[in-house]
Structures are given as structure tokens and as C-alpha cells.
Chain A
Amino acid sequence: MRWWQIRKRDADLERELRSDLELEEEEQRDNGLPPDEARRAASRAFGNVTLIREKTRETWGWAPFERLWQDLRYGMRQLRRSPGFAVIALCTLSLSIGAATSVFSVVNAVLLKPFAFRDADRLLVVRETEDKAGSGREIVPDNYRHFLYLKENAKTLEDAAIFRHSAGSISPNGDHPRVVGTVITSPNLFRLLGVRPMLGRNFVDADARKGAAHIVVLSYEGWREFFSGDSNVIGKTLRINGEPNTVIGVLPPGMHFPQVALSPKIHFQELGQNVMLYEPFVPAERDLKNDTGNFNYSVIARLNPGVTVPQAHAELGALLSSYTVSSHLPVRFGIAIAPLAQDVASGVRGGLWLLFAAVGAVLLIACVNLANLQFARAVSAEHETAVRAALGASRSRQIMARLTESLILAVIGGMAGIALAFLGVRMLLALVPANIPRLEEVRISVPVLLFAVALSMLVAIAFGILPALRSLRVPPHAALQTNSSRTANVRDGQRMRNIMVAAQLTCTVVLLIVTALSLRSFSHLMHQNRGFDASHVTVAGVDLFAPQYGDFSSKNPQPVKQAFADRALAALRQLPGVESSALTSATPLKGETWVDYLHRPDRPLPDGQEPLVNVRFIDPDYLPTMRIPVVAGRNISAGDRGDPYVALISERTAREAFPGEDPIGRKIGSLAPDSDHLFTVVGVVADTRINGLKDTAAMAYAPYWVFTHWTLSFLVRSSQPSDVLIPEMRRVLWQVDPQVAIPVLKSMDEQVSESAATDRFQAIVLSGFGISALLLALLGVYGVLAYSVSLRQQEFGIRIALGSGKGSMVGLVLRQAAYPVLFGTAAGLAISFVVLRWVRSLLYQTPVMDPLAISGSVLLLLAVSATAAMIPAYRAASVDPMRALRSE
């Protein structure tokens, strides 16, 4: 039996029943009954023909589908009859499902999806900890010798690889070079991850021996970009930092190596997320010898099957402390360990879950609005429901009929939501800060689609079930009564609606408070005193990655780099409108780099106990250009060039290294990377938030005449706007040397703002959700009141006719609104006190009990609710008593 035969079959059945009925009638007539009587007797004998038909049709096996089809048609008819409701419902649904799906696609890619590596749940990031005399335990990157010892002796680990994120300059077509992310790794990394090259071969141990040929493995993206996907790429040469490297392999497209931070404090944001190429790690002399410094690497390890993370942690910790003892190391080292996926997402997990929770709250509020509308519709359709019940519709049939309408809405809204999610994901990716890991994996994938579908169904049931269940409570005999009993229904439905409005306001209050706190935190971050003046400053980061500039192993690369710096500074100063140009060795607001111990020969401390400082090599114009005041002593000056071993320290460094003493004139040690020459402190400068807005950094500055870094940052203060200055600066710098890369070139203001990208993203997206929640709550309050006012027209008419004033009518409606609003707000406040504990870590120097944020949110919500209530209240007051009474 096919479904298209049903119609024919049905006609056939009807004909069969009719002919048999006629026969029965004839027989009754033959028995001597008059024709009328015979027809009635035949009908009686036959029973309910419709019922017989329905029962027979059931045997055809298509009944459930037929019923669904009927319900669907019924639902569509219902929706077409109230297009206003349908449009509002579909808009609300598609927007909120779209938003939730977009956020989920990010959550899924960043937090939930396992890495595309073999048994990714067995991968760990291993770091070391160092016990500090004053400040307790600090997590530090790995030391090569410690790594070798652990790898050799650990029984819990199957394998471990040591690596370092780095950067290289590439100029594929002889253009000006650009800087790309690279990874320098021990040869076993890909084997450990379970990744096989798509072309060519993997690294082998011989590749990491001293003096081995320079080779490189390309990522899929690097292969596409530098060789346009040439399949004969193996054996070809790629110049990295000007040096030829032979390509030995290309990785498959799914291989995205995550950015692993050296330590919780040290990130490599500027390189972006994509690792374009991999080079073998050839340990240098200092890697092989140094046991107490040189913490420059990351370690990724694979657990043996069946081993837990705590077991590995215990074993590695014990191994490292026995190593500390047997090697007589002056510092106690320990182990910090985290599953790879967790480590990579550690900085963003809380924030993303918060956003997901926020979008969930918006969805919930939207659901309540729809449930409210459906509820009102169910009440007004009560008569029809009663008729259905009286005609014998079963309970399940009644519920299904109501639910299918919600299902239709959810299916259409869900599909529109998925379509919107494609846009939403793009919008999120445009807003999202680049330091969120695994963004390249964000897409509307199958799990995301499944999520959207499941969510739509859930939503349909959530907003459809209450009104559907309500239809059960309608007694069949209600159909026989007239609808003068409407007032009774008003009260009954009203309680349910009030509860829903209160629930909605509860969610809204929580969301508003979280949003307000996030905005306060962001505003505080942006408006606090930074200790430097970013306005009118443009920054150019320049990388001297070319053979003529040498590297750490070169004999004396300093003069060439210094010459470049001098010429570039002079050339930048010549640009029109330039007030000053300056140099520093690290791009501002890119986190801590070049962190070293500050040694005091007059008061030596054991290794590892000395205070840590960020070392920067600057020129005399750095402080004036950034408007950083000298607090004591003097700035470095051109006069120091002959004897350049002078240093400036920041106030924080002074406090930590010279507590209660005057640092001016004191000697400090080892700021220069290649000598033990001591420096004389000539000045103390104000603290700045130069590495990141959230912390003042402990700084030590030395002149670039001592050491000129390979990465330079030129700062130009000018009356010209940045967008005029930027192309000029690029031109001038490339005039000095076309072979340098300029990975950063932007206004300092932009640099500052980018450094707060995560906080801004959180604030913007939360604000979006907060506003949506507020609007939905406004609609919710308005909808419920407007509906109840429309039901109570007659009552209001009578009240006015009996002499109620306009004011008292308005008061009547407002009082009605007040209960759910006040109750919901109070409940929201109570819940906030619980929820806010989890938000604390996401806020910057903002107490979660911030009175302004809390009172502001509550007042805003109350004001909006009052506004929403005013319109129906005035409508109630302006009821024409005559018309209201006449319509009875």
C-alpha cells in the first residue's frame, strides 16, 4: 500500500460500506419495516460509519502519518489565521536560535571538539614550576636538560616532544619579506601527535644533530601560500630569514598546531594562529649546559594508555625534585601539567562559557515570550478545544494538535536560524580577538547543525508544552456554555502568565548585571592610568631577519643592526609633522618578553631568587616620546654612547630589587645577553602598563648601543594622523633596507585597543545579549498586560462608568504589573549573588558587588518595565464605557 493509493482506497472503502448499508436497509424493508424506519434500523445495526472508516484506515498502517499530516495542516491553518503572531514568533526564534548556534559553533571548535590528533585526550602540556622565596610558586617554561631527564626516565609517558613557537621572515616572490609563525621542534613531534606528512617525509632524529642540513616541513597552508600547492615541492628551497632551507615534507590540511603559551604570562599573540612551517630543533650549547636558566621551551607529551594525569604529575614531579637534589640545583623545581585541549583554551574557557550562558538566557527569555503568546492563543481557542474534546478527541491528540503548531514554528525558525548562524559566525569571527585558539576550526559543522536542530525541537517543546497541557484542562462541557465566563479564564491564565513574566525578568536581571559588570570592567581597563601616552603615537614593529643581521651565534652582528636603527630613526624624524621618533626592543602591549633575573653584585641572591624584570633596549627619545616621566635621577642621553653600560629601572623594579634603598648609582647585572658587564642605574622611571593593560610591569631599560635586538619597535609621535603616517613610515623603513619585515604598523591607540580585544569582545557580545534580553522582557511585560487589558475591557468600562478616574485606572494596571516585575527582579538579584562568583575571574579590578552596576541594571529594568506597562495602562484608562458595555 503506497500513500498515493490512499485516496483511491478511501473512495473504495466508502463505496463498499455504502453498498452494504443499502443492502442492510433493503433487508430491513423486506422484513416489513416502512422505508424511514428501515433506514434508521440499518444505520443502528451498522453503527458509526465514520468510526468504521477510521478504524479500517488504521489497518492500512498510515494512520500516524495521516494524523501528523492533519495536525500539520491544522497548524499551518492556525498560523495563517494569525500572521502577526507567526511573524513575531519566527523572528524571535530565528534570531535567538541563530545567535545560540553561532556562539555554540565557537564554543564547539574552541572548547569541545577534540584535536585532530591520534588519541588527543592523552596529550599533555608539561611546564615547570619554580619556588620563589617571596612570591611562592611560579609556572615557567621548560629547560632542555630537565626535559631530557624527564623523557629518559618517565614511565607514565609514551613520548614527549620539546618545541618553541617562533617567527621567520619569508619573501616568496622576492617581495618585501613578511613574518610568519613557525615551530622549532624535536623531530618526534609529528609522530607523537600521530600526524603523517601528506607529501615527502617526517623529521628523523638525524635532522636535529648539530651541523645537519637546513630542512623544513610546511604546513598545508604554508605549502599553498609559498608554493601555490605545487606537488613537486619536495627538495625545493624556501628561504627563511634569507637562509635557504630544503622542503622535505608537507602536512595534511587538517593539521592545525595550536598555539601553546610558554607560560601563563607569556604569549605570542603577534604571530597569529597559523603555524606555516616547522623546523627541527638543534640544541645549542647553552641548552645542553644550563640547568637553572634558559627556560625557553614548551613540552608536549603523550601519556601511556591507562595512565591518569595525576599519576603522570606525581611521577614527573618526583623525578624533577630528585634531579634537583642530585644535581645540587639552588632552586626547587616542580611540574605543572594540563591536558592539551584544556591548556590551549585555558585563557578563554570562562569567557566563552559565559557568552554561551548569556545566549542561553536570551533564548530562554524568548521562549517565555513565545510561551506567553501561545498561552494567550490557547485561552482564546478554548471554545474550539472544548468542542474537540466533546467530539471525542483523545488527550494525546489534543496535545499534539497544539504542539505541532509550535513544532512548525520551531522547524521554520530553526532553519532560518541556521541560515542566520552562517552570518552570525562571520560576525563573531570579525569581532573575536585573534588570540582565541582554534578559530580556524570554527564553522557550522555537523555537530553544530545537530545542536541547532536539537535546540529547535527543545525550544518548540519548551514554549509549546504549557499551552498544550492547558488544553487538557478544558472540560468538554465548556463548549456548551457561552463565553460570558471569560472573566474566570482571565484570572486563571493570569497567574501562569505572571509567573512566566517573573521568570523572564529574573533572567534579564542576571544578564543585565553581568553585562554591566563586564562594561564597567572594560571601561576601567581602558580608562585607568597607563603610565604612558598613546595618542598621536604610531608604532612600527620591524624584524631584522636577514643574513646580514646575523643571529645569536654570529660573531658580531651588533654594528649592522645598530646602523639600521640609527638610519631608520633619523629617516623617521625627517617625516613631516614628526615631533619625535624613538626605539624600543619589544612592541608595546604584546605581553612579557625578554624576562630576566636582575642581579645585584652588592647583595647576591641565589639563582632563581632574584627579582624578574622585562629588559628593554631603548634610545634616549623613548621616554619623552611615550611621555613616561623620570621619577628620580636622569634619562639616558646621547652622551652615554661612549660608555653605554647605564640602566633605568621602573618604580616597581626599584621596590622589588632595592626595597627601602636608593637605587641611583648602584650596579646591576647581566642585562646584555652576551656579556657579564655590569650596568649603573642612572634613573628611576614611572611604572607603566606597557606589556599589557592589566599589570604594571617590572622594567629595566638599557641603551640600544649595548645591544640592538632583531625585533625593533619604532615609535613616532606626530601631529599627522596615523593613516597618513603609516604608508610614509613603511616607505622610509624599506628605503633604509627593503629586506626587513614590518609585521606591525599601526597607531598606538589601535595597539592599546587590540590588547584589550578579549575584554572588548566580551563586553560587546554581552551588551548585545543584554539589550536583546531587555527588549524581549519589554515585549513580555507589554504583551501580558496588553492582553489582560484587552480581556478586561468590560470591567474597565464598568469601573469608569461607576466613576473611576483615569489615574486610578492607570494605577490598577500598573499594580497588576508590579507583582511579577518586582518578584522577578528580586529573584534575579538573589540568583545574581550566586552566579556572580563564577564571573569574578573574568572581570578586571571590578568587585562583583559593584553597587553602580547592580543598581543601574535594576533601575534600567524597572524603568523599561514601567514604560512597557504604561501603554496598556493608558489604554485601560481610555476605555469608552459605553462601547465596552455595548459590546457585551
Chain B
Amino acid sequence: MSSTKEKAQQRANLLQGTLDMLILRTLLYGPAHGHQIGKHIQRTTNDFLQMQHGSLYPALHRLEQRGWVTSKWETAPDKNREFKYYRLTEKGKKQLVVEESKWKQMAEAVSSVMWPVTEEN
């Protein structure tokens, strides 16, 4: 029981800083509703990132609050129902660039510690 709990913790921690970036990146393909965004992230990572609805919706609303995405109720092309579609704004695109470069820097920094390149030798 404790191991599952630990796993969940790991996932949550991983997601916390990066979820915003992943959502923004997902919306770069075009407008999507909450369910689609979740499913997309889950599928792209081969189910490594289990989408928690408990963090997805607060994150979406937070992004909207900050003006990085807008939302609109629209009818889905294949279904006869309305969904709330989120769309990336110009501001959101810029933010994605920022987040991405931050992430890259972070990843490089982490990897340079973890797998040092020994050039001098």
C-alpha cells in the first residue's frame, strides 16, 4: 500500500511544475477540451503520466485566469454536443516559449550533474 502511495506522490511531484507547460504545448496543436487534453498527455507519454482530473481542471482555470488560454463552448465536430474548448492565446504562446526554455535549462543543469561530460581528460 505504501509503495502505491509513493508512486502517486512521485507522479504528482513531477507534474506539479510542468503540467502548465504540458497543457500549453498540447494546445499548440489546436483547441481542445479538458478530456481531450488529459487523454492526449496520457497517451503521448504511454500512460506514464496518468492524468489526474483533480489537477487538470484547476490548472486549466489557472491558465485562463492568467490569460494564457481562452475558453469557449463549442459543438464537437464528431458529436452533437457542446464541449468547453480551450484555445492558446498569443500570451500563452510566449509563455510556452519561456516555460520550455526554463525546462531545458533545468534539464541540462540536472543532466550535467547526473552525467558529467569529462572533456578535459
Taking Cβ atoms with an 8 Å cutoff, the residues of A that contact B are 1, 12-13, 15-17, 19-20, 22-24, 45-48, 51-52, 55-56, 58-61
Structural contact, B53 and A52, CB atoms closer than 8 A: yes
Q: Which of A1, A48, A59 contacts B54 (CB 8 A)?
A: A48
Q: Jot down 27 A-B pairs with beta carbons below 8 A, ordered by A.
A: A13-B57, A13-B61, A16-B34, A16-B57, A16-B84, A19-B81, A19-B83, A19-B84, A20-B33, A20-B34, A20-B83, A23-B35, A24-B35, A45-B53, A47-B53, A47-B54, A48-B54, A51-B54, A52-B54, A55-B57, A56-B57, A56-B61, A58-B58, A59-B61, A59-B62, A60-B61, A61-B65
Q: Which of B81-102 contact A (CB under 8 A)?
A: 81-84
A52 to B60, CA, bound (A): 12
* Interface 1/0 per residue, B41-70 and A, CB below 8 Å: 000000000001111011001100100000
Q: Which of B6-45 contact A (CB under 8 A)?
A: 33-35
> Which chain B positions have C-beta within 8 A of A20?
33-35, 53, 83
Structural contact, A55 and B84, CB atoms closer than 8 A: no
Structural contact, A56 and B65, CB atoms closer than 8 A: no
Structural contact, B57 and A52, CB atoms closer than 8 A: yes
Q: Is the interface on chain B under 10, 10 to 19, 20 to 34, or 35 or more residues?
A: 10 to 19
Query: In angstroms, how far is the closest chain A Cβ from the Cβ of B62?
Result: 4
A60 to B61, CA, bound (A): 8
CB nearest to A16 among chain B residues: B84
A61 to B82, CA, bound (A): 27
Instruction: Known pairs A19-B82, A55-B55; list 14 more (Cβ under 8 Å).
Output: A13-B61, A15-B84, A19-B33, A19-B84, A20-B35, A23-B83, A47-B53, A48-B54, A52-B57, A55-B54, A55-B58, A59-B62, A60-B61, A61-B65
> Which chain A positions have C-beta within 8 A of B81?
19, 22
A288 to B116, CA, bound (A): 99
CB nearest to A22 among chain B residues: B81
Structural contact, A60 and B54, CB atoms closer than 8 A: no
Taking Cβ atoms with an 8 Å cutoff, the residues of B that contact A are 33-35, 52-55, 57-58, 61-62, 65, 81-84
Give the one of B53, B54, B61 with max A CB within 10 A: B53
Query: In angstroms, how far is the closest chain A Cβ from the Cβ of B49?
Result: 14
A770 to B62, CA, bound (A): 60
A15 to B58, CA, bound (A): 15
Query: In angstroms, how far is the closest chain B Cβ from the Cβ of A398?
Result: 23
Q: With contacts A16-B84, A20-B34 known, is A60 near B53, CB below 8 A? A: no
Structural contact, A47 and B35, CB atoms closer than 8 A: no
A245 to B34, CA, bound (A): 91
Q: Which of A45, A46, A60 contacts B65 (CB 8 A)?
A: A60
Structural contact, B84 and A59, CB atoms closer than 8 A: no
A79 to B33, CA, bound (A): 45
CB nearest to A55 among chain B residues: B58
A206 to B83, CA, bound (A): 93
> Which chain A positions have C-beta within 8 A of B65?
1, 59-61
Give the one of A12, A22, A52, A61 with max B CB within 10 A: A52
CB nearest to B34 among chain A residues: A20
Query: In angstroms, how far is the closest chain B Cβ from the Cβ of A7?
Result: 16
Query: In angstroms, how far is the closest chain B Cβ from the Cβ of A27?
Result: 8
Give the one of A47, A52, A56 with max B CB within 10 A: A56
Structural contact, A46 and B53, CB atoms closer than 8 A: yes
CB nearest to A19 among chain B residues: B83
A283 to B7, CA, bound (A): 97
A51 to B57, CA, bound (A): 11
A1 to B67, CA, bound (A): 12
A19 to B55, CA, bound (A): 17
> Which chain B positions have C-beta within 8 A of A58?
58
CB nearest to A17 among chain B residues: B57
> Which chain A positions have C-beta within 8 A of B54?
47-48, 51-52, 55
> Which chain B positions have C-beta within 8 A of A23?
35, 83
Query: In angstroms, how far is the closest chain A Cβ from the Cβ of B86?
Result: 10
A60 to B66, CA, bound (A): 10
CB nearest to A48 among chain B residues: B54
A22 to B83, CA, bound (A): 11
CB nearest to B62 among chain A residues: A59
A734 to B65, CA, bound (A): 86
Query: In angstroms, how far is the closest chain A Cβ from the Cβ of B64?
Result: 9
Query: In angstroms, how far is the closest chain A Cβ from the Cβ of B83?
Result: 6
Give the one of A12, A17, A20, A48 with max B CB within 10 A: A20
Query: In angstroms, how far is the closest chain A Cβ from the Cβ of B30?
Result: 18
> Which chain B positions have C-beta within 8 A of A1?
65
Q: With contacts A20-B35, A47-B53, A61-B65 known, is A56 near B58, CB below 8 A? A: yes
A698 to B34, CA, bound (A): 100
A59 to B55, CA, bound (A): 11
A244 to B15, CA, bound (A): 93
> Which chain B positions have C-beta within 8 A of A24?
35
CB nearest to B57 among chain A residues: A56
A19 to B82, CA, bound (A): 8
